[in-house]
Amino acid sequence: MKSSETRASAVDLGRGLKLKSPVLLASGTVSYGEELSRLTDLSAIGGLVTKAISLEPRTGNPPQRIAETPSGMVNAIGLANVGIDRFIADKVPFLRKLGTSIIVNIAGRSIDDYAEVVSRLDAVPGLDAYEINLSCPNVKGECMIMGVSPDATRDIVQELRAITSRHLMIKLTPNVTSISSIALAAQSAGADSLSLINTVVGMAVDWKKRRPLLTNVTGGLSGPAIKPIALAKVWEVYNAVSIPVVGMGGIASFSDAMEFMVTGASAIQIGTMNFVQPDIGERVAKAMEEYFSSPDAPTLVEFKGSLLTL
């Protein structure tokens, strides 16, 4: 594939986040890229979003943490991750060599936690953006509180904006009454872009054993089952804000990715489908580049949000 300057599908999300393709791989579905890099060419995609990083290492919830559901899965991993120290020492050197943009997903228990992680990462060269996860549905009493309140969202984004000059992408949960009011709060506090949707609260049950399939009982539903919900939320947020929207939820093909772009997304993320087709990001990125390179095609900017409605 061509370099970012010459690619027809390259996209600039602002504040230094220039992607050579609109295709990103979603947090928590590709870990820190090591395993996936053996199965696909990650330099073909726009970027990789890491698993959520927290101040301390976390083991997450006890198993069973994942269950398959019709057209999707529920997970209650609970933000298991290596913690900031090991991330910087062991994971960043490898991530930097992938030849794609690196977006670090961050989770915490308090504003101070997030602020500490962001200031530590700011001293590390070679990272392109932060995706702030305010919406982890599987960790009781933690960041979920921030992601469902416009005031709490404004407070944390304001605090992080004062610390970093790197691109701040704020990740939104669909598990709220009005996602656009949270989106507007993030925008007014200085967010550079918004990514959505995180998983939808869901549950799977074995009626014969009379047990939930997840030890946590509920989890986050992801995969093709949530695509119509995700499209509706992207449409709502796109019409409310002026900063770029990064869409995700159930994307399983080039066609799905284009549905999000025409609905208003400037870029997209692919999550659950990485478990099914490890090279899906590369394939969708190549298909998008081919489409937008065609002389008859609209430019990516013309195409974005050009959905025709009555």
Residue from the set 108, 174, 190, 223 that interacts with ligand FMN by CB under 6 A: 223
Query: Of 79, 136, 172, 258, which is the active-site residue?
Result: 136
Structure tokens at 199: 């998983």
Label residues 169-178 b or e (16+ Cβ within 10 Å = b).
bbbbbbbbee
With contacts defined by CB under 6 A, name the span among 73-81, 184-192, 207-215, 296-304 that binds ligand FMN.
73-81
The secondary element (H helix, E strand) that includes residue 199 is: none
Q: Which residues contact 129 (CB under 8 A, 6 or more apart)?
A: 13, 16, 17, 47, 101, 102, 103, 104, 166, 167, 168, 169, 192
Which residues inside 165-194 make contact with ligand FMN, applying CB under 6 A?
171
Contact indicator for 269, 250 with CB cutoff of 8 Å: no
Q: Does 102 bind ligand FMN (CB under 6 A)?
A: no
Contact indicator for 26, 269 with CB cutoff of 8 Å: yes
Q: Does 226 bind ligand FMN (CB under 6 A)?
A: yes
DSSP sequence for 35-101: TGGGTS-GGGSSEEEPSPB-SS-B--SPSP-EEEETTEEEE-----B-HHHHIIIIIHHHHHTTSSE
Residue from the set 10, 30, 48, 52 that interacts with ligand FMN by CB under 6 A: 52
String marking each residue 7-26 x if it binds ligand FMN according to CB under 6 A? -------------------x
CB of 264 to ligand FMN, least distance (A): 17
With contacts defined by CB under 6 A, name the span among 143-151, 205-213, 218-226, 297-305 that binds ligand FMN.
218-226
CB closer to ligand FMN, 48 vs 226 = 226
CB closer to ligand FMN, 248 vs 285 = 248
Label residues 64-95 b or e (16+ Cβ within 10 Å = b).
ebebebeebbbbbbbbebbebeebbeebbeeb
CB closer to ligand FMN, 150 vs 247 = 247
Q: Does 222 bind ligand FMN (CB under 6 A)?
A: yes
143 is catalytic: no
CB closer to ligand FMN, 4 vs 110 = 110
Residue from the set 22, 212, 249, 264 that interacts with ligand FMN by CB under 6 A: 249
How far apart are alpha carbons 213 and 3 in whole angstroms? 45
Q: Which residue has the tokens 């990516």?
A: 300
The C-alpha angle with vertex 80 and arms to 56 and 209, in degrees rounded to 5, equals: 140
Q: Does 244 bind ligand FMN (CB under 6 A)?
A: no
Residue from the set 212, 219, 271, 281 that interacts with ligand FMN by CB under 6 A: 271
Q: Does 137 bind ligand FMN (CB under 6 A)?
A: no
Q: Does 61 bind ligand FMN (CB under 6 A)?
A: no
Q: Which residue has the tokens 């009005």?
A: 178
Residue from the set 54, 61, 193, 199 that interacts with ligand FMN by CB under 6 A: 199
Residue from the set 28, 47, 247, 264 that interacts with ligand FMN by CB under 6 A: 28
Helix axes 111-122, 150-163, angle to 10 degrees: 30
CB atoms under 10 Å from CB of 114, counted, come to: 26
Which residues inside 281-310 make contact with ligand FMN, applying CB under 6 A?
none
Residues making contact with ligand FMN (CB under 6 A) = 26-29, 51-52, 75, 77, 79, 105, 133, 171, 198-199, 222-223, 226, 248-251, 270-272
Active site residues: 136
